[in-house]
Amino acid sequence: MLTFPQQPMLAKPVHALPEAGALAGGCVYEPKFDRYRALLFITEGGCRIQSRRGHDMTTAFADIAEAAEAAFLPGTVLDGELVVWGDDKLDFAALQRRLASGRPRGRPATFVSFDVLCIQGTDIRTWRLQQRREALQLLMTDVPPPIQLTPQTDSRAEAIQWLSDYAANPVGIEGVVIKGRGAKYSSGKREWLKLRIRDTVEVVVGAITGAADHPDRLVLGLYKGSELQVVGGTTDLKPPEQATIAPLLTPAGDKHPWPDEISEGRLGHYGKAKVALTRVEPTLVVEISADCAIEYGRWRHVVKFIRARPDLSPQEIDEAPE
C-alpha cells in the first residue's frame, strides 16, 4: 500500500499539440482543469487528501474525503483534480477560500479522477496507463458525485476541437494534458505533456524588475476605470527583448499609483516573497501571450512578452479582466 504522502507524476509544457504517436503506446488527451491537484489515500481509518506539494488538505475537503471513503475499498489511491464549479465556469477562488479556511465552505467541490495508483493495497504504478485507465473505469462504475472520471480521448482531432471550444468558451479549462498509453506512472517526473490555451493581449507596462536600462521582467497593468491595476508579470526578458524595451521606458514621477515592491504571487510566481519594483510611466503598451487562468482580475501564471506596441496608447486597449 502506498503511504501518505507521495510525489505525483507531473507534466511539462509544450507549444503545439503532439501527434497521435508521439508518446509510448500512442497519445491520449485529457482536459486540464483550473484546479488543485490532489491524491486521495483511502485506508481503514478514512481518506486523506494530499496536495501536489505533499500537504494534507483533508479538513478543507472533508466532503470529498467522506465520499471517497464510502465509494472505494481501503488500499485505494487515486490521482486527480479538485474543482469547484461556479455559475458558468470553474471557480478557483472558491478553492483557495476553502484551503485558507481549512473547512468545507461555499460551493461544493468535485474530485475529477484521472488515474489510480493503488488497488486494495497493490501498487500498480508500473502498469501501463491504458491498464490503469481500464481499472479506474471499473472502480468508478456507479460512483456518484462529487467524484467523477475525467474525459479522455485518443483522437487528436477531438483534442483540437476541445482546445477550440475551450478557447471560445472560457469555462475554466486551461488546455489539455497529453499522456502515453504505454507509459508507467513515474512519481515526481515530468513525463506527461501539457498544452495551455493561450491568447495575445495588449497591456500597459507600469513597472519592471531590474534597472530601467536593463529590465529583467515587465510588471503589467490594465485600467479599471481610472485605476491602473496590476494584472501580472512576464517571464524573464531575453537580451534582444531587453534592448528593445529599455529605450521605450520613462522613469515614473511622484504620482505613480503602485508601491515600490510587490509579492511574487501577484506576478504569477509561487510564493509571498516581496520583489522590488522600478516604476515607469504607464505609457508603453506591449503585446503578451497569456493563458486563461484569471483570478481577482489578474493572470495567475506568468505571461510571455511578444512585442512592444508603441503605436498604441493605453486608452486604446481593453480594461482589466474580471
Q: Which CATH number fits domain 10-196: 3.30.470.30, 3.40.47.10, 3.40.50.2000, 3.65.10.10?
A: 3.30.470.30
Residue 59: per-residue pLDDT: 96
pLDDT digits (tens, 9 = 90+) for 37-85: 999 999 999 999 999 889 999 999 999 999 999 999 999 999 999 999 9
Domain boundaries in the chain?
A: 10-196, 198-316
Task: Say which CATH architecture domain 198-316 belongs to.
Answer: Beta Barrel (2.40)
Q: Identify the band that residue 106 occupies on the pLDDT scale cut at 50, 70 and 90.
A: confident
* pLDDT, position 203: 93
**Residues present in the chain in total:** 322
Name which residue leads in pLDDT, 53 or 3. Answer: 3
**pLDDT tens across 156-167, in order?**
999 999 999 998
Q: How far apart are CA 219 and CA 274, in angstroms?
A: 13
Q: Read off the pTM.
A: 0.75
Can you name the residues that pair with 190 across neighbouring β-strands?
10
Cα dihedral across residues 308, 218, 285, 164: positive or negative: positive
Q: Is the pLDDT of residue 295 over 80?
A: no
Q: What pLDDT is recorded for position 2?
A: 93
Half-sphere exposure of 182 (CA within 13 A, CB side): 7
Query: What is the tens place of the pLDDT at every residue in 192-221?
Result: 999 988 778 889 999 999 998 899 999 999
Question: b/e per residue, 231-260, with b = 16+ CB within 10 A?
Answer: bbbbbebeeebbeebbebbeebeeebebee
Q: pLDDT, tens digit, for every residue of 131-174?
A: 999 999 999 999 999 999 999 999 999 999 999 999 888 888 98
